[in-house]
Amino acid sequence: MFEADFGRFDAKLDQRTADIRQEIAELRGELRAEFHKDIGSVRAELMKWSFLALWVLIAVGVIGLYFKG
């Protein structure tokens, strides 16, 4: 009788463990997708500000050369 009860308990434990592992895998996939989306938007913002800074520096340099000469 103990063996039968233990066998059922073991089967339930294995099923619950498999369910939890599946949920963790799904969450990991969702987090990874969200992370990549966020990284993409940050990358776009950095590119935008880098080009803006470049043009500001070029403008300051040209204005400086204009007023120096």
User: Tell me, what DSSP letter sits at residue 1?
Assistant: -
CA–CA separation, 66 and 69 (whole Å)? 6
pTM: 0.56
pLDDT at 2: 67
Classify each residue of 25-40 as buried b or exposed e, where b means 16 or more C-beta atoms within 10 Å of its C-beta.
Answer: eeeeeeeeeeeeeeee
Q: Average pLDDT in the 6-10 region? A: 83
Give the tens place of pLDDT for each residue, 17-69.
999 999 999 999 999 999 999 999 999 999 999 999 999 999 999 999 998 86
pLDDT at 6: 77
Residue type, 13: L
